[in-house]
Amino acid sequence: MWAFLVRPECILCLSSALSVMAQLTDNFSPRINQTHLTPSHLKHRTEGLKVKGSNFTLDGFAFLIVAGTIHYFRVPREYWRDRLLKLKAGGFNTITTHVPWNLHEPVKGQFYFTRNLDLKTFIVTASEVGLWVILCPGPYVGGDLDLGGLPSWLLRDPRMKLRTTYKGFTKAVNLYFDQLIPRIASLQYHKGGPIIAVQMENEYGSYYKDKKYMQYIKRALVERKIQVLLMTADDGQEVTKGHLKNVLATLHMKNINKETYQKLFSFQGLSPVLMTVYTASSFDTWGLIRRTLDLHVLMKDVREMFKLRFSLNFYMFHGGTNFGFMGGAMSSKNYVSMVTSYDYGALLTEDGDYTPEYLAFQEYFSSVLVVPTHLQPERKPKAMYKSVIPSHYLSLWDILPYLEKPIQSVKPICMEKLPVNQGSGQSTGYTLYETSISTGGILTSRDNVQDRAQVFLDEKYIGVLDHSTDHLTLPLKNSYRNYWTLSILVENQGRIAYGQNINKERKGLTGNIYLNNSPLRGFKIFSLEMKAKFIQRDLPNLWKPFPNHVLGPAFFLGFLRIGHTPRDTFIKLEGWTKGVIFINGQNLGRYWELGPQETFYLPGPWLHPGKNEIIVFEELKAGPDIQFTNISQLVLE
């Protein structure tokens, strides 16, 4: 019965998962039966989620939260119900989700709550499936997102103090909450909706730059009619700093740790424990070896939590994809940025398939909880489409004269400060800085390239400046010419998602670039955000037939023809080096030959029968074709 639920290549790991599970199945007799505590059963609602001694209660009944995190914006909308059903069928009763401010308000004052950002529909769908919702409206959410989900336009203020009561920050939060909170307030428990709790901010104890800040966030939510249980969530080390009086403190931790929850009791008194982020695995970053989940440790911990009657939330139950440029970065010693997949080693794979761990958990939960036995969604078959050979290409250099007029500036300007997007600056993508030089020599960046720049002389590729390479030699021979065009194409690879330094994040050229120790002057700056609208409508029609060998940076156009119902597939770009993939105007995200990600998830609902347009922006060198496979490859040797 299980074999068809998992990928064939997972059968081996499945048998080891089953043996772990067999050792760990507990005999809770009788099993905890919470089947009457679902949104459809609880019609006449009196009180919502409450803290009663060491228990949560829901409408007066003892209630154990068994939750998992799914980010609606990392999953195609068409699959929301499928993923939520899988959560429910696995034995979970609650979905936790974070709200990314930067996606909902990408330009100051312009709000988006539709399509893949239709939070309301996501919450309603959860309720229909029989799940409760814990909502994390931030404003900072972390989530390994660009700037932890904060909009980069906040950084235009040089005095900005993110996550504090600094006026420039609270004013922006207030305007955003005025849009967000009324949209979800009617979905709270007492109004008949599924939202049983709201988490304030995220791990504030690890940041803690302003003692008054959490009080302000609480007021901002309560004033906008948030009435359900409020919670804070902190890393085990920082829990005493992040919490607030009369707000339930919850824990983020990797492995369950007695000292930590006893510390929680010591200041909170007898209270239910919620492991808000029980995280077993982690994200992947470009160029680094994949971390994997240890099912033995995981099962031991979860079993322990059940014995102690702790509530838990799995981060991530299903990670999904860092579509577009939503992925963030981290910087402890070195800067590393998130790959496009946010598989996370979660219980469902990036494309929503069951993992052996999912099945092991489902089995374990069934031994301790009454788990609904309604129909479990079947595995969706993946397609292996025929390769597409691009038909046309468009060199970046050829289109520059047709783009919006470049910004002229004596000195370089960082992305955030560029006068684009009605005063919101540029948030993501690429920025091209051009100037003239009259001599060769040594080009140095002094760490002013954020994050990676390709350098060209008269459109000829010279090399890369990035976080680890701060100088390049410009080989200029004497000739009849007086000047040469130096082009610096800088890619923002994602702002750091957490840490004390988020206020310092600026992208593009963040200061001078020096040639033989003199700062370069007189720039033409092109903002290349690569928005869907730009790719679909603003590329000038100067497409040329695709020869065998083309150097980037350039756009490559190809068509995928599909006869039958479109299915999920993975794109593979063998022979290509680095860039971004667009399908029918949707930005699928970045690819990079560096790995560990070798295939890129293309959701079936983003394809249609007939002709599908694929545009690849390749920075350096195009490969021969665009391939499709039915197996995800996200593993380094």
Ligand X SMILES: *[C@@H]1O[C@H](CO)[C@@H](O)[C@H](O)[C@H]1NC(C)=O
User: In whole angstroms, how close is the CB of 341 to ligand X at the nearest point?
Assistant: 16
Structure tokens at 8: 């064939």
User: In whole angstroms, how close is the CB of 35 to ligand X at the nearest point?
Assistant: 5
Binding to ligand X by residue 40, rule CB under 6 A? no
Binding to ligand X by residue 386, rule CB under 6 A? no
Mark 464-484 as b/e (b = at least 16 C-beta within 10 Å).
bbbbeeeebebeeeeeeeeeb
Structure tokens at 636: 């380094």
Binding to ligand X by residue 54, rule CB under 6 A? yes
Beta bridge partners of 293: none
522 φψ region: left (φ > 0), alpha (ψ -120 to 50), beta (else): left
Question: Which residue among 98, 303, 382, 495 contacts ligand X (CB under 6 A)?
Answer: 382
User: In whole angstroms, how close is the CB of 633 to ligand X at the nearest point?
Assistant: 12
Residue placing its CB nearer to ligand X in the complex, 411 or 561: 561
Which residue's C-beta sits nearest to ligand X?
Answer: 53
Site residues (CB under 6 A) for ligand X, limited to 118-177:
none
Residue 78: count of CB within 10 angstroms of its CB = 12
> Comparing C-alpha atoms, which of 621, 625, 619, 629 is closest to residue 559?
625
Beta bridge partners of 592: 578
**What is the longest distance spanned by two Cα atoms in the chain?**
90
Count the residues of the shown chain that bind ligand X, applying the rule CB under 6 A: 15
Question: Which residue among 7, 71, 303, 507 contacts ligand X (CB under 6 A)?
Answer: 7
Stretch that binds ligand X, among 51-59, 74-82, 148-156, 223-231 (CB under 6 A): 51-59
| Burial of 214 per CB tally in 10 Å (0-12, 13-18, 19+) | buried
Binding to ligand X by residue 36, rule CB under 6 A? yes
Binding to ligand X by residue 307, rule CB under 6 A? no
Residue placing its CB nearer to ligand X in the complex, 454 or 599: 599
Structure tokens at 629: 């496979």
Measure the CA–CA gap between 556 and 571, rounded to whole angstroms.
Answer: 15
Is the bond leading into 214 cis (omega within 30 degrees of zero)?
no
Stretch that binds ligand X, among 54-62, 248-256, 356-364, 462-470 (CB under 6 A): 54-62
Measure the CA–CA gap between 61 and 481, rounded to whole angstroms.
Answer: 83
Stretch that binds ligand X, among 31-39, 76-84, 193-201, 214-222 (CB under 6 A): 31-39
Is the bond leading into 182 cis (omega within 30 degrees of zero)?
no
Q: Which residue has the tokens 């304030």?
A: 200
Please, how many CA atoms are within 13 Å of residue 261, restricted to the half-sphere of its CB?
A: 22
Stretch that binds ligand X, among 33-41, 481-489, 497-505, 564-572 (CB under 6 A): 33-41
Stretch that binds ligand X, among 50-58, 94-102, 110-118, 359-367 (CB under 6 A): 50-58
Question: Which residue among 13, 18, 51, 62 contacts ligand X (CB under 6 A)?
Answer: 62
Question: Pairing state of beta strands 274-278 and 248-253?
Answer: parallel
Measure the CA–CA gap between 199 and 626, rounded to whole angstroms.
Answer: 43
> Comparing C-alpha atoms, which of 35, 57, 234, 232 is closest to residue 134?
232
DSSP 8-class letter at 500? G
Amino acid identity for residue 622 in this structure: A
Binding to ligand X by residue 33, rule CB under 6 A? yes
Stretch that binds ligand X, among 29-37, 328-336, 464-472, 500-508 (CB under 6 A): 29-37
Question: Which residue among 13, 25, 45, 55 contacts ligand X (CB under 6 A)?
Answer: 55
Residue placing its CB nearer to ligand X in the complex, 52 or 521: 52
> Comparing C-alpha atoms, which of 117, 128, 62, 118 is closest to residue 95?
128
Is the bond leading into 451 cis (omega within 30 degrees of zero)?
yes
Question: Which residue among 12, 384, 594, 636 contacts ligand X (CB under 6 A)?
Answer: 384
Residue placing its CB nearer to ligand X in the complex, 289 or 631: 631
Residue placing its CB nearer to ligand X in the complex, 263 or 379: 379
Structure tokens at 169: 């920050």
Residue placing its CB nearer to ligand X in the complex, 60 or 522: 60
Stretch that binds ligand X, among 28-36, 152-160, 458-466, 572-580 (CB under 6 A): 28-36
User: In whole angstroms, how close is the CB of 560 to ligand X at the nearest point?
Assistant: 17
User: In whole angstroms, how close is the CB of 57 to ligand X at the nearest point?
Assistant: 8
Residue placing its CB nearer to ligand X in the complex, 630 or 633: 630
Residue placing its CB nearer to ligand X in the complex, 436 or 630: 630
> Comparing C-alpha atoms, which of 526, 516, 523 is closest to residue 489?
526
Binding to ligand X by residue 630, rule CB under 6 A? yes
x/- letters, 443..482, toward ligand X (CB under 6 A): ----------------------------------------
User: 126 by DSSP, 3-state: which?
Assistant: helix
User: In whole angstroms, how close is the CB of 587 to ligand X at the nearest point?
Assistant: 26
> Comparing C-alpha atoms, which of 181, 188, 226 is closest to residue 48?
188
User: In whole angstroms, how close is the CB of 271 to ligand X at the nearest point?
Assistant: 10
Residues 6 or more apart whose CB falls under 8 angstroms from that of 150 comprise 101, 102, 138, 139, 140, 162, 502
Q: Cα 194 to chain center, whole Å?
A: 24
User: In whole angstroms, how close is the CB of 23 to ligand X at the nearest point?
Assistant: 24
Question: Which residue among 35, 114, 237, 469 contacts ligand X (CB under 6 A)?
Answer: 35
Measure the CA–CA gap between 122 and 127, rounded to whole angstroms.
Answer: 9
Please report, for residues 6, 81, 455, 525, the alpha-carbon distance to residue 574 in angstroms, rounded to integers and kept in the order given. Answer: 27, 34, 24, 32
Residue placing its CB nearer to ligand X in the complex, 7 or 218: 7
Is residue 247 within 8 A of residue 230, CB to CB? The reply is yes
Stretch that binds ligand X, among 52-60, 128-136, 299-307, 465-473 (CB under 6 A): 52-60
Binding to ligand X by residue 387, rule CB under 6 A? no
User: In whole angstroms, how close is the CB of 318 to ligand X at the nearest point?
Assistant: 18
Measure the CA–CA gap between 193 and 206, rounded to whole angstroms.
Answer: 32
Structure tokens at 63: 């209630």
Residue placing its CB nearer to ligand X in the complex, 48 or 429: 48
User: In whole angstroms, how close is the CB of 17 to ligand X at the nearest point?
Assistant: 18
User: In whole angstroms, how close is the CB of 309 to ligand X at the nearest point?
Assistant: 7
Site residues (CB under 6 A) for ligand X, limited to 342-381:
370
Binding to ligand X by residue 51, rule CB under 6 A? no
- Residues forming the site for ligand X (CB under 6 A): 7-8, 33, 35-36, 52-55, 62, 370, 382, 384, 630-631
